[in-house]
Amino acid sequence: MRAHLLHKPAPVEAEPLTLEEVAVPEPGRGELLVRVLCCGICRTDLHIVEGELPPHKQPVVPGHQIVGVVEKLGPGVQNWNIGDRAGIAWLRSTCQQCRYCQRGRENLCEHATFTGWDHDGGYAEYATVPAEYAYRLPAEVDPVLTAPLLCAGIIGYRALKRADVRPGSTLGIVGFGSSAHIVMEVANYWGCEVFVFSRQPHHRELARQMGAAWVGTIGEEIPRKLEHAILFAPSGKLVPPVLEYLDKGGILAIAGIYLSPVPELNYEKHLYFEKEVRSVTANTREDGHELLELAVRIPLRPHVTTVPFEEANRGLLELKRDRFQGSGVLVVSADAR
* Residue 216 bridge partners (DSSP): 197
- Write phi, then psi, for 148 (nearest 5 degrees): -65, -20
Among the residue ranges 97-105, 118-126, 156-164, 186-194, the one whose residues contact Zn ion (CB under 5 A): 97-105
Q: What three-state secondary structure class fits 238?
A: helix
Q: Does 34 bind Zn ion (CB under 5 A)?
A: no
Distance, in Å, from the CA atom of 237 to the CA atom of 163, rounded to the nearest integer, reads 19
- How many amino acids of this chain bind Zn ion (CB under 5 A)? 8
Numbers of helices and strands, H then E, in the chain: 9, 17
Residue number, 35 or 64, with CB nearest to Zn ion: 64
Q: Does 316 bind Zn ion (CB under 5 A)?
A: no
Q: Which DSSP state fits 168?
A: T
User: Is 107 an interacting residue with respect to Zn ion (CB under 5 A)?
Assistant: no
Site for Zn ion in 211-270 (CB under 5 A): none
| DSSP bridge partners of 130 | 31
Question: In the bound complex, what is the minimum distance in angstroms from residue 161's beta carbon to Zn ion?
Answer: 17
CB of 59 to Zn ion, least distance (A): 19
Q: Which is nearer to Zn ion, 110 or 335 (CB)?
A: 110
Instruction: Please give the Cα distance from 118 to 61 (Å, whole number).
Output: 10
- With 0-12 / 13-18 / 19 or more C-beta atoms within 10 angstroms meaning exposed / middle / buried, residue 52 is middle
Across 187-197, b (16+ Cβ under 10 Å) vs e yields beebebbbbbb
Which residue in 58, 29, 33, 53 sits closest to 122, CA to CA?
Answer: 33
Give the HSE-up count for residue 59: Cα atoms under 13 Å, Cβ half-sphere.
15
Which of 12, 36, 42, 215 lies at the binding interface for Zn ion (CB under 5 A)?
42
Q: Which is nearer to Zn ion, 43 or 275 (CB)?
A: 43
Asked if 94 interacts with Zn ion (CB under 5 A), we say: yes
Among 98, 141, 213, 317, binds Zn ion (CB under 5 A): 98
Residue 95 Cβ vs Zn ion, minimum distance, rounded to whole Å: 4
The radius of gyration of the chain from alpha carbons, rounded to an integer in Å, stands at 19
Give the whole-angstrom CA distance, residue 202 versus residue 197.
12
Q: One symbol per residue from 53 to 92: x for binding Zn ion (CB under 5 A), - otherwise; what is it?
A: ----------------------------------------
3-state percent helix, strand, coil for the chain, nearest multiple of 5: 30, 25, 40
Binding residue for Zn ion (CB under 5 A) from 32, 37, 101, 336?
Answer: 101
Could you say which of 39, 91, 127, 151 contacts Zn ion (CB under 5 A)?
151
Using the contact rule CB under 5 A, the part of the chain among 8-16, 24-32, 40-48, 215-223 near Zn ion is 40-48
User: Which position among 6, 25, 31, 44 is part of the footprint of Zn ion (CB under 5 A)?
Assistant: 44
Smallest distance from Zn ion to CB 304, Å? 15
Which residues bind to Zn ion, rule: CB under 5 A?
42, 44, 94-95, 98, 101, 109, 151
